[in-house]
């Protein structure tokens, strides 16, 4: 495979991988929010049940001896604290999402941003090496593709730039040698049509490439 095509194919695969990771992060966030809502509903329901129990009428209940209200332990259990059941319930209602999971999410997000920065740097360095004339020829070719020209030949670019056809051939070869993914498609065993690789176009627009070049 052509090293240029292979490089941009690899970048495209990384972009798809980043999109999948971002989608995974979104799903995790939605799951966390859903768990928080469920826990809130469970707590509310538990509180309502307690309130209902406390409002049961007591006028028909038999009279029993009064106990010391300050006692915090059960005599029958030999001093075992009576609030143990409450602690157990509170523990069960704690969300299962741990701090380690949160740190992992932030690390994944940081890795994604770092990968995007590396892609931007790669594109910037590649186009930063182009001369003004080479960048002009590339820009005209990119623009003609956006305008859906039926056939983009060396001659067509020459007419747009007011340069000679031989100069355009020379600039196109230099662009390819510098790693710019331009494809030559032979038509009818005679005419050569020029095309920018779709891999590059799917990653960056002409405006983005020009902005990165100017940094």
Q: What are the tens digits of pLDDT across the range 10-60?
A: 677 777 777 777 877 777 787 777 776 666 555 555 555 554 445 445 445
pTM: 0.51
What's the N-to-C CA distance of the chain in angstroms?
32
* CA count, 13 A, side-chain hemisphere, 44: 6
- pLDDT: is 185 or 86 the higher one? 185
Residue 156 CA to residue 96 CA, distance in Å, equals 64
Q: Tell me phi and psi for residue 191, to 5 degrees.
A: -80, 135
Residue 214 pLDDT > 90: no
72-125 residue pLDDT tens: 444 444 554 545 555 555 555 555 656 666 677 777 776 776 666 777 888 889
Residue 97 has phi, psi (to 5 degrees) of -75, 115
Give the list of residues 6+ apart from residue 28 with CB closer than 8 angstroms, or none: 101, 105
Residue 142 has pLDDT above 60, yes or no: yes
Domains and CATH numbers, the chain: 122-214 (1.10.10.10)
Neighbouring CB atoms inside 10 A of 142's CB total: 19
Distance CA 127, CA 124 (A): 5
Q: Is 72 helix (H, G, I), strand (E, B) or coil?
A: coil
Give which of 126, 131, 150, 148 is closest to 203, Cα–Cα.
126
Question: At residue 136, does pLDDT exceed 60?
Answer: yes
Q: Average pLDDT of the chain?
A: 75
Does pLDDT of 161 surpass 60?
Answer: yes
Are 116 and 19 within 8 A, CB to CB?
no
Distance CA 139, CA 208 (A): 12
- How sure is the predictor about 192, in pLDDT bands with cuts at 50, 70 and 90? very high
């Amino acid at each position: 495979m052509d090293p240029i095509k292979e490089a941009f194919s690899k970048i495209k695969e990384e972009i798809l991988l980043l999109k999948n990771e971002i989608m995974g992060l979104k799903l995790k966030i939605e799951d966390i929010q859903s768990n928080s809502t469920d826990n809130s509903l469970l707590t509310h329901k538990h509180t309502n049940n307690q309130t209902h129990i406390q409002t049961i009428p007591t006028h028909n209940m038999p009279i029993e001896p009064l106990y010391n209200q300050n006692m915090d332990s059960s005599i029958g259990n030999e001093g075992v604290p009576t609030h143990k059941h409450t602690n157990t319930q509170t523990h069960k209602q704690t969300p299962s999402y741990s701090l380690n999971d949160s740190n992992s999410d932030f690390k994944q997000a940081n890795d994604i941003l770092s990968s995007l920065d590396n892609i931007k740097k790669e594109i910037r360095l590649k186009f930063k090496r182009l001369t003004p004339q080479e960048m002009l020829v590339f820009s005209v070719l990119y623009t003609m593709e956006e305008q859906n020209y039926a056939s983009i030949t060396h001659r067509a670019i020459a007419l747009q730039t007011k340069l000679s056809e031989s100069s355009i051939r020379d600039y196109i070869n230099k662009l390819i040698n510098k790693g710019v993914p331009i494809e030559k498609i032979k038509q009818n065993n005679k005419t050569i049509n020029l095309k920018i690789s779709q891999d590059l176009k799917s990653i960056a627009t002409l405006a983005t490439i020009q902005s990165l070049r100017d940094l």
